[in-house]
Structure 1
């Protein structure tokens, strides 16, 4: 039982969690469609918003909106409905209203990253909140994003460049507990499960892959590729610890010093400037650690750049089996990155064709149409 009234609780919480109960966020509005999907609460890389809008655009008789929890004053990605962190974690009034509106107004809910769909302070577990939706006749699908379900011990055993053997070694035991707990939750619920990258099927064998979405036209450029004497190589990690940057940097810096390439290590570039950054590059080295390709690789492929990254044989096989397309990402591990980049510089015509194929791949697989079709299968 709560002893502090909500009007006072919002003032005494740590700064990041404070809220004014008089400024209750606007309530979500269910769309006017027979099938109505609510996606909550993570929106990592803006994907919740992308999936929601893909459903609305491409699936007849269906529409979707997404919710995301907002921490701080800004919000990095678009969202239909954002909720300050304080309300999500501490406002019973907001949580009860959210729960009731979604239960009555939506036919389906996509729960991201095994997180509480209605906040974490209703003395309820994720399981109990999901089961309440089901009792109200709402169809629920679970969605895994990455670290929430990727088991560090499994990944480290299969990948010599795994960040769980290096930069994330100290965090690995905690992440192992989180992933194991979330897998138990998925097993217990027995609901349909989607994963955002194909290699995660190793962690949830009964899951299905839901492709990430980008807007190819935002990244398209008329700039040629591999036409300069010294090709420009960009590495712009969202997280250096998880991308293998501590191994990538010295290799590419050495190639730059030899005059083979011009290396641009990028820090803190606003999202709005990234299309121009890729347009002025030839090769984008994404990561060598996780064995999957994500949104950054897709954006660079859509720009017609040669993308170098580690994509595991399992992930490549999953994509080929699901789509009929080979993943047009040039394979590299830490041990082979020097050799791979030199090979691209030497055999330019071959890799210009890889870059062209990459544009077609993103347009066919990751522009929203395929993802909407997959989600539509669950909106019955």
Structure 2
């Protein structure tokens, strides 16, 4: 390290010890930020068990889990969401902080740690991602050790691609996206899942997964069903009242969901006047309920073998949901809940036949769709998820 570099580091540290308003003004322009955008530290909660969840909040799952846990006696919860740069989905969060603040504000990082370590009894860390920015040099294992040293118990929550090993997943499906040798993201996803698995093994603590296929990656984990607000998605009219049904496909990741495999079929059937295909991408979360309610059929994915948050939302709306489900996923859901998910399962190359069957027997399809809202209320409204977290984490003595 050169003398100039060392001097800059000494100056930076000195500035960071000053009051934040003064420190921001003294920083080089490219390292300044708007103090109005810095959120308050997580508050003191009035309960014996105080839970913080952070910080990815994929599909608002951190926020909704906090709301579900609050329904338990003696539990208060809050979620912190570190928003990625350029994110447009607008998911709700108790505390939302921009990536720029996480990166630039050492004051925010120190306040965040002091508040969580001093005010909370439990922390659920999502996706193996740091919740204190660079305070511990992006080392989540060090964050966990620091929290535990202050008496905070820590658990892990995995949502999907963060933990899903491409190496394992491609053994289960000929349509797995991880068979694609020319997919640039595949190796990065494998590296990420391997790192997450090592973190879990080395740090210990309960592990919760929101999709049952992740139990292949972590066999001792607990399936914690994804959560939606059923009333937010409720639709007044049943599907398939139109001659030409509306088919919605709104992938968050078109490669993983298999859009390219099914879109030729959907566009061909649309051109033939059999369906009204409506592809959607990049839509804010606030607009999705109206889009789902306006559809008859929602196609979730045909490559992963699971059903996602989008499928649960469509079931809550009483729509016909199509997704390819792996047998072990269906069997685990049925064993854990006593109910199989009311989803029309088909392979990517069977979609046209699947849609033709739905159109040919609309009464049967409507009956399947009508089971969706009750299934969501029983499995995905947060009550079951909160009980699973309480039993495996909050109520455990260690």
Q: TM-score of the superposition, structure 1-length normalised?
A: 0.92
Q: Please, which runs of 5 or more residues in structure 1 have no aligned partner? A: none
Shifted more, 201-210 versus 124-133: the winner is 124-133
Q: Corresponding residue for 1:116? A: 130
Matched, 1:64 2:77: yes
- Give the distance between the partners of 2:212 and 2:147, measured in 1 at CA: 28
Q: Deviations over 1:93-123 (max 9, x none)?
A: 2222211211110010000000112223433
Q: Please, which runs of 5 or more residues in structure 2 have no aligned partner? A: 1-5, 17-23
Q: How many residues align?
A: 375
Matched, 1:12 2:30: yes
Shifted more, 322-331 versus 265-274: the winner is 265-274
Shifted more, 137-146 versus 18-27: the winner is 18-27
Q: Corresponding residue for 1:165? A: 179
- Give the distance between the partners of 2:205 and 2:287, measured in 1 at CA: 40
SS of 2:96 mapped into structure 1:
strand
Contact 2:222/2:388 (<8 A) preserved = no
Contact 2:56/2:83 (<8 A) preserved = no
Matched, 1:254 2:268: yes
Q: Deviations over 1:177-216 (max 9, x none)?
A: 1111110110111210001111111111111111111111
Q: Corresponding residue for 1:347? A: 361
- Give the distance between the partners of 1:267 and 1:96, measured in 2 at CA: 37
SS of 2:123 mapped into structure 1:
strand
- Give the distance between the partners of 1:134 and 1:105, measured in 2 at CA: 13
Q: Corresponding residue for 1:51? A: 65
- Give the distance between the partners of 1:375 and 1:174, measured in 2 at CA: 30
- Give the distance between the partners of 1:234 and 1:23, measured in 2 at CA: 36
- Give the distance between the partners of 1:125 and 1:71, measured in 2 at CA: 18
CA drift of 1:129 comes to 1.0
SS of 1:249 mapped into structure 2:
helix
Q: Deviations over 1:309-331 (max 9, x none)?
A: 11211111111111111011110
Contact 1:10/1:19 (<8 A) preserved = no
Contact 1:39/1:110 (<8 A) preserved = yes
SS of 1:330 mapped into structure 2:
coil
Matched, 1:326 2:326: no
SS of 1:132 mapped into structure 2:
helix
- Measured at CA, do residues 256 and 125 of structure 1 come closer, stay the same or move farther in structure 2, by a change above 3 Å? same
CA drift of 1:271 comes to 2.9
Q: 1:300 aligns with which of 314, 325, 333?
A: 314
The root-mean-square deviation of aligned C-alpha atoms, in Å, is 2.1
- Give the distance between the partners of 1:216 and 1:146, measured in 2 at CA: 22
- Measured at CA, do residues 179 and 61 of structure 1 come closer, stay the same or move farther in structure 2, by a change above 3 Å? same
Contact 1:91/1:121 (<8 A) preserved = no
Q: Deviations over 1:198-250 (max 9, x none)?
A: 11111111111111111111111121222222222121222222211111110
Shifted more, 270-279 versus 101-110: the winner is 270-279
Contact 2:38/2:97 (<8 A) preserved = no
Q: Corresponding residue for 2:19? A: none
Q: Corresponding residue for 1:213? A: 227
SS of 1:331 mapped into structure 2:
coil
After superposition, residues 259-278 of structure 1 pair within 5 angstroms as 259-278=273-292
Q: 1:241 aligns with which of 250, 255, 262?
A: 255
Contact 1:10/1:21 (<8 A) preserved = no
Contact 2:247/2:297 (<8 A) preserved = yes
Q: 2:139 aligns with which of 80, 101, 125?
A: 125
CA drift of 1:51 comes to 0.5
Matched, 1:182 2:183: no
Contact 1:167/1:241 (<8 A) preserved = no
Q: Corresponding residue for 1:194? A: 208
Q: Deviations over 1:160-190 (max 9, x none)?
A: 2222234972211111111111101101112
